[in-house]
A and B are shown apart, each in its own frame.
Chain A
Amino acid sequence: MTLPPFALVRPTTLDEALRELTEDSVPYCGGTELLLAMRAGLHRPDALVDLKRIPELTGVRAGDGMLVIGAAERHADLATHPLILERLPVFARMEKHIGNARVRNQGSIGGNLCFAEPKSDVATLLMALEASVTLVSPGGRRTVTVEELIVGPYYAEKEPDEILVDVRIPLRDGLRGAYVKFQTMERPTVGVAVLADDAAGWYRLGVGAVGEVPLAWSFGSLAEIDPDDIASRVDPTPDLAGSEEYKRHVTAVYVRRALAKLEQVSS
């Protein structure tokens, strides 16, 4: 089916891109969400502002205890990025299994977050990692946590004149992490992230895909994580992937599996 007509704007600087954005001229990167929404008639922007040529939105670097990932970086590149493999391998392992190989070659990390797809693997793990994002508008820049950004299904708390420039993940020496998911269709039924920084006594659990937004909690020890308790804390959305009762059940199962997997990984 043909897409509705739109103009294509391809700025090469962030300032230029910011000047182009309006309610009807929207950011465009990989298109894995936006073009589908446009084809379905859910969006009909006058113009797409392609962000792929803006240097500030590319690259991966580490500094000041943070891993900083440019918003336009594609999942396939993040899955194999040497710095991510070295400093945050759990993130690379999660990226390696998003969607399918084509989606990973087209979709960007920033686009994934901006669309706030309720079944996003990325958002679940980033929330557990206490990651934040940088949003830039003509008025300035602000940093918000992924938890603050993703407020509802397909709803990110971002103004139309803002561009998500990068994702910032705090780095922890000796961090161990596991991300497991149950998936029979193109999107997961449940995704569970568990992270442990034993030296700091910092433990996090994130559960996504079952409900409208991912949820994450802190714990004082791994022993405090009770899979049945977690299953009662989530708010599942009944859909083709299963009923509320079923989703609570698989949540408990996958919390157990995530904890078991964590015992097998050293990073």
Chain B
Amino acid sequence: MTESVSESVATSGPPRVPVTVGVNGVSVSRQVEPRSVLVDFLREDLGLTGTKVSCELQVCGVCTVLVDGRPVSACTFLTADADGADVTTVEGLSDGQTLHPLQESFVDHFALQCGFCTPGFLMMSKALLDGDEVPDREAIVEHLEGNICRCTGYEPIVEAVEHVAEKLRGGPHG
């Protein structure tokens, strides 16, 4: 799928930068301001509001998205740097009918309360589980230590990820 929209050119300010980004499998081309950060591009330009914003300091992790499979803080990632890359957001986890195993597990383990941090935790966890090694509990805790849950529901979050990891270990990839 390819979508191309020509936007009105800004009347002032530094020249815009052309970007073509694969967002959850859809190729999107836009002219963005150099200062555009990925989270604003996703939320405001594309309407993908699943990704949240909070600290804007790369500390809290709620804005985590995957760029070419690697977790980054979308609040501090220039959209221009995503040119040519594949970006996966929380909206890309499910096909709209079936939940991703991590989403299922978060539901089953009550791994969310207010839910604001959940997209970030899901994307961080996906990056970890997509890696070469199936992580143990210690690796999960270490990987998620840069994500903050203000409701302090860390235990069920770790259990939810651990559950999916265990299934991977027992399954065809184990």
With A35-B76, A101-B71, A106-B72 already in contact, the answer to whether A5 and B57 are too (CB < 8 A) is no
* Given A8-B17, A101-B124, A31:B35 Cβ within 8 A: no
Q: Which of B17, B67, B81 has the most CB of A within 10 A?
A: B81
- Find residues 133-151 in chain B having any chain A CB closer than 8 Å to their own CB: 143, 145-147
B-contact bits for A70-105, CB 8 A (1 contact / 0 none) = 000000100000000000000000000001111101
Stretch at the interface among B22-30, B58-66, B106-114: B58-66
Q: Contact at A102–B80, with CB atoms within 8 Å?
A: no
In the complex, what residue of chain B is closest to A102 when comparing beta carbons?
A: B73
Whether B86 is near chain A, meaning CB under 8 Å from some CB there, is: no
Residues of B within 8 A of A32 (CB): 58, 76
- Considering the complex, give the chain B residue whose CB is closest to the CB of A40: B57
**Nearest CB in chain A to that of B80: its residue:** A8
A5 and B61 contacting across the interface, CB-CB below 8 Å: no
> Within 8 Å of chain A (Cβ to Cβ): is B78?
yes
Q: Does B102 contact A (CB under 8 A)?
A: no
Q: Flag if B13 contacts A5 (CB, 8 Å).
A: yes
Contacts of A7 in B (CB 8 A): 14-15, 34
Specify which of A50, A102, A106, A186 lies most central, judged by the most chain B CB atoms within 10 Å of its CB. A102
- Which A residues are CB-close (under 8 A) to B72? 102, 105-106
Least Cβ distance of A79 to chain B in Å?
Answer: 12
Which B residues lie within 8 Å of A47 (CB)?
14
Inter-chain contacts of B70 with A (CB < 8 A): 76, 105
Measured between alpha carbons, how far is A76 from B127 in the docked complex, in Å?
13
Near B by CB (< 8 A), chain A positions 141-174 give none
Question: Do B35 and A103 touch across chains, with their CB atoms under 8 A apart?
Answer: no
Residues of chain B with a CB closer than 8 A to A102's CB: 58, 61, 64, 71-73, 124, 146
- Does A4 sit within 8 A of B, measured CB to CB? yes
A36 within 8 A of B: yes
> Nearest chain-B residue to A28 (Cβ)?
B78
Instruction: Name the B residues within 8 Å of A4 (CB-CB).
Output: 35
14 A-B pairs in the complex with CB atoms less than 8 angstroms apart: A5-B33, A5-B34, A31-B78, A32-B58, A35-B76, A36-B56, A39-B56, A47-B14, A48-B34, A99-B58, A100-B61, A102-B124, A102-B146, A186-B59
- 5 closest cross-chain pairs (CB), A and B: A100-B146, A8-B34, A7-B14, A3-B35, A105-B70
